[in-house]
Amino acid sequence: MYLPSRPRLILGIETSCDDSCASIVSSDRTILSSIVTKQDHSNTSGIHPLTAALGHHSNLAPTISSAFTAANVAPSHIDAIAVTQGPGMASSLGVGLSAAKALAAVLAKPLIYVHHMQAHALTPLLTEKNPPQFPFLVLLISGGHTMIVLATSVTQFKILASTQDDSIGDAFDKVARDLGIPWTSAPGAALEQLAAQHAADAAAASDVGVEHNVVFPIPCKGRAEFSYSGLKAAVTRHIHSHKAIAEMDPTQKASIANAFQIAACAQLQDKLSMLLRPSHITADVRGRSYPRIILPDSITPDQIKTLVCSGGVASNHFLRSQLRKHLDNLERDDIQLQFPPLSLCTDNAAMIAWTGHLIWHQRIQADYSRHAKARWSIQDIPK
């Protein structure tokens, strides 16, 4: 068995949504294990909180056991337990918190409470050969969040733009269901695969009709906010104004999926333009001033050298390529664009354990009184 004579070991537990996750990570940035047990919601219209919580009750204990086995670490050899306190589904968070508190009490180990989106933002500090240096920008895009934040330390984040309604991940999932796309792991990922077929299908199916030219709106252009509710509604209206989904040509579906994906990503690009366009470029060729989002603390766009893109939607390959192209078009090829590995974009406990390491000295305690925080702004993390 592994004897922790040098690197500190932390067990991470993550249950903010429906994935039961456990991981053991060492202080030398080694992921010794990362186990994710997924639930199947393909036969429902989404994730029901009670169903997800019941799934955690069944899945979490064996997931934690598997994490210890895969890491070849005895439970008594870990140095602390880090657990997601929020944000997320309260009932799901409660299962993880209860398990973490019980383990911490039985093993007499400290307990560290972690903010889920903070962990997503800090993942590159675990995975990158050249980790980002503060301050850096973070684009957090998932099923529950769409925001751009400025990270100035491991506990200090300032929201610069956030969604006013639905998240980009929720929009991907809703449009995928409206199009009747079969899926196994996630509806949003299935939509990405269908959209990728569009370029190849369009050339071979020129007789399908006008679907190849469909364009969806880009809400909130030039404003420091996102909105995906209107985009979802526009796609839904377009789908239902035609024929029944069962009768729709696959090429038409691919075209709609592609047009939606372009519009969804364009919102992200618009906000990045407002934040990262070089300071000396103030107006377009017609003399119209570019709208900007002003960075706090007198930080200039030119001082930002890293953009981290994290969260489940960050696994989208089209989005990854578009963001890099967009930064280059902004004349910001000096910005490093960093994505976590695909396995660490979606919910996982390795990021929770690693954040536990980063805040070790600030948050180490045996406090069993804390409860789930379903709503918890990343700006309100204790310093």
- Both 253 and 372 in one domain: the answer is no
* Predicted local distance difference test score (pLDDT) of residue 241: 82
Q: What is the CATH number of the domain that holds 251?
A: 3.30.420.40
Express each pLDDT in 97-112 by its tens digit. Answer: 999 999 999 999 999 9
Question: Domain total for the chain?
Answer: 2
Q: Which domain holds residue 248?
A: 132-339
- Both 292 and 145 in one domain: the answer is yes
* Predicted local distance difference test score (pLDDT) of residue 357: 97
* Predicted local distance difference test score (pLDDT) of residue 246: 66
CA distance 80 to 78: 6
* Amino acid at residue number 41: H
- Both 191 and 311 in one domain: the answer is yes
* Predicted local distance difference test score (pLDDT) of residue 2: 43
- Both 96 and 151 in one domain: the answer is no
Please give the residue that has the higher pLDDT: either 383 or 311: 311
Would the pLDDT of 210 be above 80? no
- Both 257 and 327 in one domain: the answer is yes
Confidence of residue 4 (pLDDT cuts 50, 70, 90): very low
- Both 286 and 204 in one domain: the answer is yes
Express each pLDDT in 290-321 by its tens digit. Answer: 999 999 999 999 999 999 999 999 999 999 99
Confidence of residue 50 (pLDDT cuts 50, 70, 90): confident
* Amino acid at residue number 236: T
Confidence of residue 212 (pLDDT cuts 50, 70, 90): low
Express each pLDDT in 152-195 by its tens digit. Answer: 999 999 999 999 999 999 999 999 999 998 887 788 999 999 99
- Both 170 and 247 in one domain: the answer is yes
Q: What is the mean pLDDT of the chain?
A: 92
- Both 163 and 285 in one domain: the answer is yes
State pTM to two decimals. Answer: 0.92
Confidence of residue 363 (pLDDT cuts 50, 70, 90): low
- Both 282 and 363 in one domain: the answer is no
* Predicted local distance difference test score (pLDDT) of residue 48: 85
- Both 175 and 279 in one domain: the answer is yes
Would the pLDDT of 47 be above 70? yes
Q: Is residue 274 situated within a structural domain?
A: yes
- Both 74 and 151 in one domain: the answer is no
- Both 216 and 67 in one domain: the answer is no
Radius of gyration over every alpha carbon of the chain, rounded to an integer in angstroms: 22
Q: Is residue 222 situated within a structural domain?
A: yes
User: Mean of the pLDDT values across residues 51-79?
Assistant: 97
Express each pLDDT in 126-164 by its tens digit. Answer: 999 999 999 999 999 999 999 999 999 999 999 999 999
Question: pLDDT exceeding 70 applies to what percent of the chain?
Answer: 92
Q: Is residue 3 situated within a structural domain?
A: no
